[in-house]
Homo-oligomer: A and B are copies of this chain.
């Protein structure tokens, strides 16, 4: 029987297939060749890897961003199959589930395409929900498109809520604290990009690794959790948990708390999103070894040393286009830090300054997508200008 006739096969498109999440998604798919089919692949810059992936998984369509070489990928005879836009791949008729693993605001437009086509969406992109959480969740409800979280924290919350009828009393969002959890402010001022890229527990892409070191990543996750689970911001408590074994917890009205734990390995939450509502046994995934697990520690985060967390929560509380400005200024600041043009502690300063300037602008409480994209452009320009002038 040909694969396409089999109802038990899930047909998957991966946007961001050459990044960390994309590659790990393909590892999970490789473990279940009879149950998944890769229908679309989209990559940003690593064409060599995309070609190898396309040769192995034989998708019907690909997207390759850099240089936009439609010629090279135009025909079946070339190294790549049919070339489509991100939005076209996200809404292909034969796709059941779209993995949105592109980082930054590039994920927003294809995410909305997938949602409007009623697809299941495994969402690893943070920025889309942070920038446009209200629009994304409203569209998902309207088109009955299911948003399946891929972030380990949100997957944990989702797993803890499984089968529960009551709304959570509180979400306890765990944070490793990043590589500098114990650094003093003086030590933080000397941090180099190389040091910041060495995350103690998770192996991830560059942008998210720096965001983890500043705790901006955790701040964005608070905003994501707020939208995904419809929980007020003040009912989301960040807890520093250096071992990254407990991926988050949900507290209920009766005082009972449920937690989800595993080895820190992104393939687990990826597989959960791909196989939901089932759980498949995968001998390739690690199990916790309790003879070695030892202690699990929890403490409240230090918002003074890690101001990005507070910046994010404050931006979300302001609402409107403030979270979009936060995202955009952070993308600029992390870029400048990675290229050595900004100190580590200047990241929150630059974002804070951009957000301050944004306060004077008229912001609606329910901005349109156009207003969000405009705010994003304004914030990038403003952050770059401020940085070039040293006005942090």
Chain A contacts to B: CB under 8 angstroms: 159-160, 162-166, 169, 172, 237, 239, 246, 249, 251-263, 268, 271-272, 275, 277-282, 285-288, 290-291, 293-300
Tell me, in angstroms, the Cα distance from A300 to B292 when the chains sit together: 9
8 contacts across the A-B interface (CB closer than 8 A): A162-B164, A163-B164, A169-B281, A251-B287, A251-B288, A254-B281, A258-B258, A258-B259
Given the known interface contacts A163-B164, A237-B290, the answer about A257 and B249 at a Cβ–Cβ threshold of 8 Å is no
Tell me, in angstroms, the Cα distance from A372 to B166 when the chains sit together: 42
Q: In the complex, how many angstroms separate the beta carbon of A260 from the nearest chain B beta carbon?
A: 6
Complex contact A271–B297 (CB within 8 A): no
Complex contact B268–A256 (CB within 8 A): yes
Q: In the complex, how many angstroms separate the beta carbon of A33 from the nearest chain B beta carbon?
A: 17
Give the most central of A160, A272, A290: most B CB within 10 Å: A290
Complex contact B272–A262 (CB within 8 A): no
Report B-chain residues with C-beta under 8 Å of the C-beta of A288.
Answer: 251, 255, 257
Complex contact A293–B298 (CB within 8 A): yes
Tell me, in angstroms, the Cα distance from A165 to B163 when the chains sit together: 10
Complex contact A275–B254 (CB within 8 A): yes
Complex contact A282–B262 (CB within 8 A): no
Complex contact B262–A260 (CB within 8 A): no
Complex contact A253–B277 (CB within 8 A): no
Report B-chain residues with C-beta under 8 Å of the C-beta of A260.
Answer: 256-259
Complex contact B290–A255 (CB within 8 A): no
Report B-chain residues with C-beta under 8 Å of the C-beta of A281.
Answer: 169, 253-254
Report B-chain residues with C-beta under 8 Å of the C-beta of A277.
Answer: 165
The 5 closest A-B pairs by CB, nearest first: A163-B163, A253-B281, A162-B163, A257-B261, A254-B279
Complex contact A282–B255 (CB within 8 A): yes
Tell me, in angstroms, the Cα distance from A280 to B256 when the chains sit together: 11
Tell me, in angstroms, the Cα distance from A261 to B239 when the chains sit together: 15
Complex contact B255–A262 (CB within 8 A): yes
Tell me, in angstroms, the Cα distance from A263 to B255 when the chains sit together: 8
Q: In the complex, how many angstroms separate the beta carbon of A391 from the nearest chain B beta carbon?
A: 37
Report B-chain residues with C-beta under 8 Å of the C-beta of A239.
Answer: 290
Closest to A253 in B: B281
Report B-chain residues with C-beta under 8 Å of the C-beta of A253.
Answer: 279-282
Q: In the complex, how many angstroms separate the beta carbon of A160 from the nearest chain B beta carbon?
A: 7
Tell me, in angstroms, the Cα distance from A253 to B32 when the chains sit together: 14
Q: In the complex, how many angstroms separate the beta carbon of A282 from the nearest chain B beta carbon?
A: 6
Tell me, in angstroms, the Cα distance from A256 to B245 when the chains sit together: 10
Complex contact B258–A160 (CB within 8 A): yes
Report B-chain residues with C-beta under 8 Å of the C-beta of A262.
Answer: 255-257
Complex contact B256–A259 (CB within 8 A): no
Tell me, in angstroms, the Cα distance from A272 to B257 when the chains sit together: 12
Closest to A286 in B: B255
Q: In the complex, how many angstroms separate the beta carbon of A289 from the nearest chain B beta carbon?
A: 10
Q: In the complex, how many angstroms separate the beta carbon of A25 from the nearest chain B beta carbon?
A: 15
Complex contact B162–A278 (CB within 8 A): no
In addition to A255-B286, A295-B297, A296-B297, 5 A-B residue pairs with Cβ atoms within 8 Å of each other are A251-B287, A290-B298, A290-B299, A291-B300, A294-B297
Report B-chain residues with C-beta under 8 Å of the C-beta of A256.
Answer: 159, 260-262, 268, 272, 279
Complex contact B159–A162 (CB within 8 A): no
Tell me, in angstroms, the Cα distance from A272 to B237 when the chains sit together: 24
Report B-chain residues with C-beta under 8 Å of the C-beta of A172.
Answer: 290
Tell me, in angstroms, the Cα distance from A237 to B287 when the chains sit together: 14
Tell me, in angstroms, the Cα distance from A268 to B251 when the chains sit together: 13
Closest to A252 in B: B279
Complex contact A285–B159 (CB within 8 A): no
Complex contact B166–A278 (CB within 8 A): yes
Which residue of B251, B254, B275, B296 contacts A280 across the interface (Cβ within 8 Å)? B254
